Structure 1
Amino acid sequence: MNDFTPGRFLSISETAELLTVSVTQVYNLVHRGELAAMRVGKRGPWRVDVSVVQSFIDDQYEMARRRALWHQSEFADSGAI
């Protein structure tokens, strides 16, 4: 099964640009395991699959949605609304 698409892999700097964060922030996400990436060779450059970036973005939106719902339920329980 050949699932290769040209332009499928992004460099760390391209990933940072796409997420509008710093290169350091992307390295931190990768090293913490929050953003899956692979290294090309033993000491080569890191690459991030475009689909991984999209999944990361989707997950961040879902987490934000859940936080918003949680905060709404906290206010509802306190009678503040």
Structure 2
Amino acid sequence: MSPRFLTLSDVADTLNLSMSAARALVSSGELPAIQVGGKRVWRIEDTALEKYIEDQYAASRERIRTHAAD
């Protein structure tokens, strides 16, 4: 069973991004996350990451479709 919540490092690894890029996605609100614990570290729900990935696929398909129509 995989964990429900992921760290920023997990997200960065999954998306093949730098830690600062993963943090920027969270800070901008593009990738929903919560802060927990005494140090208020970011945690991202696994389903939120999957939805973000699905949304990025949909956006890419739309960009391709739009540019193909030009």
Which of the pair has more CA radius of gyration? Answer: 1
Determine the structure 2 residue equivalent to 1:77. Answer: none
The structure richer in strand per residue is: 2
Matched position secondary structure for 2:17: coil
Structure 1: tracts of 5 or more residues without a match: 75-81
Aligned match of 1:46:
42
> In the alignment, which residue of structure 1 is the partner of 2:68?
72
Q: Percent of pairs identical after alignment?
A: 34
In 1, Cα distance between equivalents of 2:2 and 2:64:
38
TM-score normalised by length of structure 1: 0.80
Query: 4+ residue stretches of structure 1 with deviation over 2 A?
Result: none
Greater relative contact order (CA < 8 Å, ≥ 6 in sequence) = 2
For the residue of structure 2 that corresponds to 1:47, the secondary structure is strand
Query: What does residue 30 of structure 2 align with?
Result: 34
Please list every run of 5 or more consecutive structure 2 residues that lacks an aligned counterpart in the other structure: none
SS of the residue corresponding to residue 26 of structure 2 reads helix
- What count of residue pairs does the alignment treat as equivalent? 70
The alpha carbon displacement at 1:41 in A equals: 3.8
> Of 18, 21, 36, which residue of structure 2 is paired with 1:22?
18
TM-score, length of structure 2 as denominator length: 0.91
